[in-house]
Chain A
Amino acid sequence: MTHYAMVIDTRTCIGCTDCVDACRMENNVPEGLCYDWVVEVTTGRYPDLKTEFRSERCNHCSHATCVEACPTGASQYWNGSNIVVVDATKCTGCKACIAACPYDARLIMQPQGYIGKCTFCVQRVQYGMDPACVAVCPAHAMHFGLLDDPTSNVSMLLAERKNYTLHPETGNQPNVFYLR
């Protein structure tokens, strides 16, 4: 399997939501919806504080429960990779995938009614380009690449730096990693 991963450095992420903006523009995301979002986590008491920003989205899981839950095959892996996409022409809008996603990363598109989500900008990835969110990040905090390749930027960052994923306990094997 071609194994793509996104690696986000929480040390340099400034929570500016440029990733959200660039995704919405690139993918013509309708008003009121978004495929990625930013979470702020502040811990401690003034003045001993820690604030972390996390740009979150579909984790393009290696073991995607949404793909398994889809009764029509609309939710699928793209081109033998771990990139999860929805073929709208097969999607009935039944929302089984929404219930199966541990990350709340799927949306009902308006007005068509099919299920929309982050595609890692597969229309760009097919040409070897980074997803729009990664390409725009003004803090250079986001990285994208192949985990199969040990010399890729993402593989090296994960080897060098402590990191974590969201909800690893589900067994979904998420592929969005956060550097501490």
Chain B
Amino acid sequence: MQRREFLKLSSAVASTALLGGGLTACSEPAEWQKMMTEAPAKITPTVCNICFWSCAAQVHTRGSRLWKITGNPTDSHSEGRLCTRGTGGVGAYADPNRLLKPLLRVSKGGSQSLEPVSWDDALDFIGQRMTKIATEYGPEHFAAMVHGAGAQHFLHLARAYGTDSVAEPAFAQCRGARDTGYFLTFGQGLASPEQTDMENARCVVLIGTHIGENLHNSQVRTFTDAVRNDAHIIVVDPRFSVAASKAHHWLPIRPGTDIALMLAWMNVILAERRFDAAYISTNTVGFDELAAHVAPFTPEWAYGETGITPVQIRETARLMAMAAPACVFHPGRHAAWWGDDTQRARAMAILSGLLGIWGQKGGYYLPEKVDVPSYPAPPYPTPRTSWRDLTLKQFPLAGAPVTNVVLEHSIGKDAFYKGLLVYETNLPMTIPNGAQQLAQAAQALDLIVAIDVQPSEITGFADVVLPECSYLERYDGLRNDAEREPSVAVRTPALRPLGDSKPGWWIAKQIGTRLNLDAFFPWNDYKEVIDWQLNQLGLSLLELEKTGVHYFPRKTPVYCDPGTIPRLATPSGKIELFSATLQETGFDPLPRYTPPKTPPSGYYHLNYGRAPQHSFSRTQNNPVLYQLMPENVVWIHPLVAAQFEISNGSYVRLLNQDGIVSNKVRVRVTERTRPDSVWLAHGFGHEARGLVLAYGRGANDAALMTRILYDPIMGSTGMRGNFVTFRKELAV
């Protein structure tokens, strides 16, 4: 935040005070004076929902007034410190634009609008349409797209109804490619939180991952531990990110050439024999094939592709090998870049395998989670058609439902899907080209339900909009992530739901009742489910509400013995440097480098990422976080700015290679980006008028991603192959 803007904002009010106030003392003490003697606030445990990191937190209230939210001091995700977004969670409750009534689409005189209705009317409407879809086509013709901690309520509802088509953007728009790459190499994907042992690493490698701007809490702490410990930090990024500013080695790579760099790193490690030969022969398969494959990819070759000098490539490869196994490659999130993303993840996984870091201190530790039993319910019916039947023909190794495949199969009269339920995910700004596809799907689908806290873009496509209360007003399922110390944490309501908003669990159960699925919801309040689960673990909800988090002893070691790996779930049981699975399905068994398309003259790579003040496209209207970052800015290199005669702080519109024009966006002229690239924080440029603060502020990167590079292996939507130029805007 620039304080000068704050002064600017307040100057008009200040002069009013000067004229009207006169020189008399204030009648009231200052805020700090009142606080000196204030009684302690009430504390209620919660789990933050501003992002998926799910930090355990404490909500401080005085009566019905929400004061602040702080980290739970005993929690390993937060260590008593919430990030900027979590601290601003107060605004998730206080947002004046929240949805407070169910809405139903009605047609009057040729125009449509969403009108407030009772819960019964909204739920009955959904029940009738879903029953009709089940009767006429079968329940498997219904899909859900979900995100977040409350997603499990709607996954349960969908499975009970009879469909397994429940997709999360977390797969095809985020972690899917990376997890597939690691799965093919190590037999499992990486956990969330990632099991990167950065606090014990001697070398940390980030490839496009911008920790610091990407504010995943415990990861920020462990990254800064690595900085404090003088570990070698190697950051590969076209932008001088915050992480790059902490690094000894910033490699400002040409966008899209990461695989070339990693092949050259492998080349150096193998050519200089900087690996543990005994480890390789015991624990890996396909070493000889890998050695033959990478032999031609020298640092001199990679220089021409990446722009990283052979000296830098050799130096960084040697640093990694010398630090091994205490050398960790952060796999990144949001891995959908260039369409060869599984292969990029494979390259990272192969390097990890070569350096023997799996299960080693300072590499990837072995995460463990608590075995929390499911509440007793009848078995789910088996869908006649599974998501797999539609997806694997197109993307043979997709390990989870693919959002974009669901959308494609929702378009047109003969589309497979007939109804769609969307929970807590703003698809139009999440899936590239998602807004256009949703608009088409809306023409034929019999039902679109959107469940949200705020009137996001997705609600504009819905027949029925159901208002969920914020995470501060509800119970949700236990947090139970695989991590260093197995734990459970609980979200409990600190405040009464505003208006007619309701918790997700209540909404799922009510829809279930209307579908005659009461047997799957054999409880009145979700508290009963949580308490039953905790009872099986020797705890109770009453006890957990006192502490918020509970730890369990590990059953397995956090590291394996040096030089060994646990038995892996790959076909060979070992690290698959060469992937027979990929070969059998017709893909490259070793990562191949494909040169990326370069921008036409006068166009620039559109790079994008996270800002520490916002999560996805879900927080721009949060009045607290809005104060910190009301709009995004486009980063442009000074040489480019000079060429286009664009000045710092002015507004431009971005025009992409297909003629799509963005909303106006402010320019930041900075040396911190490559001259061939611009950079934009994701999530801005909202078009939903109900989001009064966020509406029309900044540019929407997702709308500029009209060239989508699908990963043929698992279906993720590569978003980096788009280029933009500038259109000047009059001063604002």
The interface of chain A, by Cβ under 8 A from chain B, is 11-12, 14-18, 20-22, 24-28, 31-34, 37-38, 42, 44-47, 49-53, 56, 72, 74, 85-94, 104, 107-114, 116, 119, 121-123, 126, 135-141
The one of B25, B227, B613 that contacts A17, using a Cβ cutoff of 8 Å: B613
Contact, CB under 8 Å: A123 / B224: no
Provide the bound-state CA to CA distance between A148 and B67, in Å. Answer: 34
Known A-B contacts A17-B84, A27-B32, A37-B6; the reply to A108 vs B17 at CB < 8 A is yes
Residue of B nearest to A123 (CB): B35
Contact, CB under 8 Å: A17 / B612: yes
The one of B32, B217, B627, B629 that contacts A122, using a Cβ cutoff of 8 Å: B32
Which B residues between 566 and 624 are near A, CB-CB below 8 angstroms?
612-613, 623-624
Residues on the A chain within 8 Å of B2, using CB: 37
Residue of B nearest to A92 (CB): B23
A-B contact pairs, 10 of them (CB 8 A): A16-B613, A18-B215, A28-B67, A34-B1, A42-B240, A46-B674, A85-B30, A110-B10, A110-B17, A122-B32
A31-B627, A136-B81 provided; 8 other pairs, C-beta below 8 A? Answer: A25-B87, A26-B68, A28-B31, A56-B3, A88-B30, A91-B30, A112-B26, A116-B30
Contact, CB under 8 Å: A16 / B83: yes
Provide the bound-state CA to CA distance between A42 and B239, in Å. Answer: 13
Residues on the B chain within 8 Å of A113, using CB: 17, 21, 26
Residue of A nearest to B611 (CB): A16
Contact, CB under 8 Å: A32 / B1: no
Contact, CB under 8 Å: B227 / A12: yes
Residue of B nearest to A141 (CB): B224
Provide the bound-state CA to CA distance between A65 and B64, in Å. Answer: 41
The one of A31, A88, A92, A140 that contacts B33, using a Cβ cutoff of 8 Å: A88
Shortest Cβ distance from residue A110 to the other chain B in the assembled complex, whole angstroms: 5
Provide the bound-state CA to CA distance between A136 and B36, in Å. Answer: 20
Residues on the B chain within 8 Å of A44, using CB: 671
Residues on the B chain within 8 Å of A93, using CB: 17-18, 21, 23, 26
B484: Cβ under 8 A from any A Cβ: no
Shortest Cβ distance from residue A51 to the other chain B in the assembled complex, whole angstroms: 4
Contact, CB under 8 Å: B26 / A50: no
B13: Cβ under 8 A from any A Cβ: yes
Chain B residues with a Cβ closer than 8 Å to the other chain, count: 68
Provide the bound-state CA to CA distance between A111 and B3, in Å. Answer: 19
Residues on the B chain within 8 Å of A107, using CB: 10
Contact, CB under 8 Å: B26 / A89: yes
Residues on the A chain within 8 Å of B9, using CB: 32
Contact, CB under 8 Å: B36 / A123: yes
Contact, CB under 8 Å: A138 / B83: yes
The 5 closest A-B pairs by CB, nearest first: A14-B212, A37-B3, A16-B612, A88-B30, A51-B245
Residues on the A chain within 8 Å of B18, using CB: 93
Provide the bound-state CA to CA distance between A28 and B252, in Å. Answer: 42
B221: Cβ under 8 A from any A Cβ: yes
Contact, CB under 8 Å: B24 / A50: no
Residues on the B chain within 8 Å of A50, using CB: 245
Contact, CB under 8 Å: A123 / B10: no
Contact, CB under 8 Å: A111 / B215: no
B220: Cβ under 8 A from any A Cβ: yes
Provide the bound-state CA to CA distance between A123 and B32, in Å. Answer: 6
Shortest Cβ distance from residue A109 to the other chain B in the assembled complex, whole angstroms: 8
Residues on the B chain within 8 Å of A138, using CB: 81-83, 215, 217, 220-221
Known A-B contacts A16-B212, A18-B612, A46-B671; the reply to A88 vs B627 at CB < 8 A is no
Contact, CB under 8 Å: A21 / B87: yes
Contact, CB under 8 Å: B224 / A12: yes
Contact, CB under 8 Å: B26 / A45: no
The one of B25, B88, B612 that contacts A14, using a Cβ cutoff of 8 Å: B612
The one of B1, B242, B613 that contacts A51, using a Cβ cutoff of 8 Å: B242
Shortest Cβ distance from residue B645 to the other chain A in the assembled complex, whole angstroms: 20
Provide the bound-state CA to CA distance between A52 and B627, in Å. Answer: 23
Provide the bound-state CA to CA distance between A140 and B612, in Å. Answer: 16
B628: Cβ under 8 A from any A Cβ: yes
Provide the bound-state CA to CA distance between A91 and B23, in Å. Answer: 9
- The tally of CB-CB contacts under 8 A between chains A and B is 199
Residues on the B chain within 8 Å of A90, using CB: 25
Shortest Cβ distance from residue A138 to the other chain B in the assembled complex, whole angstroms: 5
B38: Cβ under 8 A from any A Cβ: yes
B272: Cβ under 8 A from any A Cβ: no
B29: Cβ under 8 A from any A Cβ: yes
Provide the bound-state CA to CA distance between A7 and B28, in Å. Answer: 33
Residues on the A chain within 8 Å of B628, using CB: 17, 20-21
The one of A14, A17, A140 that contacts B1, using a Cβ cutoff of 8 Å: A17
Residues on the A chain within 8 Å of B82, using CB: 18, 136, 138
B250: Cβ under 8 A from any A Cβ: yes
Contact, CB under 8 Å: A16 / B215: yes
Residues on the B chain within 8 Å of A141, using CB: 224
Provide the bound-state CA to CA distance between A115 and B672, in Å. Answer: 38
Shortest Cβ distance from residue B245 to the other chain A in the assembled complex, whole angstroms: 4
The one of A24, A47, A56, A140 that contacts B224, using a Cβ cutoff of 8 Å: A140
Provide the bound-state CA to CA distance between A44 and B672, in Å. Answer: 10
Residues on the A chain within 8 Å of B32, using CB: 27, 85, 119, 121-123
Annotate B127-162 by CB proximity to A: 1 below 8 A, 0 otherwise: 000000000000000000000000000000000000
Contact, CB under 8 Å: A32 / B6: yes
Residues on the B chain within 8 Å of A20, using CB: 1, 628
Residues on the B chain within 8 Å of A88, using CB: 25-26, 28-30, 33
Shortest Cβ distance from residue B204 to the other chain A in the assembled complex, whole angstroms: 14
The one of A25, A46, A121 that contacts B240, using a Cβ cutoff of 8 Å: A46
B14: Cβ under 8 A from any A Cβ: yes
B246: Cβ under 8 A from any A Cβ: yes
Provide the bound-state CA to CA distance between A22 and B228, in Å. Answer: 24
Contact, CB under 8 Å: A46 / B29: no
Residue of B nearest to A26 (CB): B68
Contact, CB under 8 Å: B10 / A14: no
Provide the bound-state CA to CA distance between A16 and B68, in Å. Answer: 18
Shortest Cβ distance from residue A77 to the other chain B in the assembled complex, whole angstroms: 14
Provide the bound-state CA to CA distance between A28 and B250, in Å. Answer: 40
Residue of B nearest to A34 (CB): B6
Annotate B242-276 by CB proximity to A: 1 below 8 A, 0 otherwise: 10011000101000000000000000000000000
The one of B3, B69, B84 that contacts A16, using a Cβ cutoff of 8 Å: B84
Residues on the B chain within 8 Å of A56, using CB: 3
Contact, CB under 8 Å: A42 / B30: no
Most central of A20, A21, A107 by chain B CB within 10 Å = A21
B385: Cβ under 8 A from any A Cβ: no
Most central of B31, B38, B69 by chain A CB within 10 Å = B31
Which B residues between 341 and 391 are near A, CB-CB below 8 angstroms?
none
Residue of B nearest to A52 (CB): B245
Known A-B contacts A11-B227, A37-B3, A49-B672; the reply to A123 vs B38 at CB < 8 A is yes
B396: Cβ under 8 A from any A Cβ: no
Residues on the B chain within 8 Å of A46, using CB: 240, 252, 637, 671-675
Known A-B contacts A14-B242, A26-B68, A50-B245; the reply to A114 vs B26 at CB < 8 A is yes
Residues on the A chain within 8 Å of B14, using CB: 108, 110
Contact, CB under 8 Å: A89 / B240: no
Provide the bound-state CA to CA distance between A11 and B38, in Å. Answer: 37
The one of B17, B30, B80, B613 that contacts A111, using a Cβ cutoff of 8 Å: B17
Residues on the A chain within 8 Å of B90, using CB: 25
Contact, CB under 8 Å: A34 / B228: no
Contact, CB under 8 Å: A49 / B245: yes
Which B residues between 41 and 97 are near A, CB-CB below 8 angstroms?
67-71, 80-84, 87-88, 90
Which B residues between 410 and 457 are near A, CB-CB below 8 angstroms?
none
Contact, CB under 8 Å: A136 / B25: no
Residues on the B chain within 8 Å of A24, using CB: 624, 627
Contact, CB under 8 Å: A139 / B224: yes
B480: Cβ under 8 A from any A Cβ: no
Residues on the B chain within 8 Å of A51, using CB: 240, 242, 245, 672
